[in-house]
Amino acid sequence: MSGKSSQLYDIFESPLGTLYLIFSGTQLTGISFKKPMNIGFKKGVAPKNFRKELEEYFQGRGDKFTQKIKFLEGTDFELKVWLCLKNVPCGETRTYKWVAENIGMPTATRAVGQALSKNPIPIVLPCHRIIESDGAIGGYSSGVHIKRRLLDLEYYSRINKK
């Protein structure tokens, strides 16, 4: 997995603050709340369709992302965890245990948490929808306050659709 030196980033202003959308060619490789500091990153323009999907998501009108993604890093285990996140519907939550069971490793809940903390494409791969078995919100690499806001946004947009 290589190609970091040819990555581009675009800026997207969201209700949660500035997001940096990171691409390798036309494939999304990352979403970050911090500006990429690697000197190989250049300012570019994200595909219009993906920007539109993000706008709709933050307006509570969309919850599907069709943008092609590419992983530049990650173990086989981490990739399984990250891809499993696509099975968690918008406005709903699942547990770390649920993820572990769904990837065929039911005792790996702690390892699932570690993998989630490294998710390079949050929001699109919705690690914020994973909570603890007792209902506690759990951690989030960009801060628990961001996780809570994403969950609230999805919950209230889902309620308004009913």
Output the pLDDT for position 77.
98
Cα dihedral 153, 159, 160, 161 in deg (nearest 10): 110
pLDDT tens for each residue of 67-77: 999 999 999 99
What's the mean pLDDT when you consider all of the chain? Answer: 91
Contact 9, 43 (CB under 8 A): yes
Q: Which residues are catalytic?
A: 127
How buried is 140 (Cβ within 10 angstroms: 0-12 exposed, 13-18 middle, 19+ buried)?
Answer: buried
Is pLDDT at 30 greater than 50 in this prediction? Answer: yes
Distances (CA, A) of 50 to 80, 121, 123: 23, 13, 12
Q: What is the CA radius of gyration of the chain?
A: 15
User: What burial letters (b/e) apply to 114-137, b meaning 16+ CB within 10 Å?
Assistant: ebbeebbbbbbbbbbbbbeeeeee
The residue type at 144: V
* Residue 41 confidence class, pLDDT cut points 50, 70, 90: confident
What are residue 131's DSSP bridge partners? 95
pLDDT tens digits along 141-159: 889 999 999 999 998 776 6
Is the confidence at residue 50, as pLDDT, over 70? yes
Distance (Å, rounded) from C-alpha 156 to C-alpha 96? 23
Q: What percent of the chain has pLDDT over 70?
A: 93
Signed CA dihedral, 123, 14, 135, 112: sign only: positive
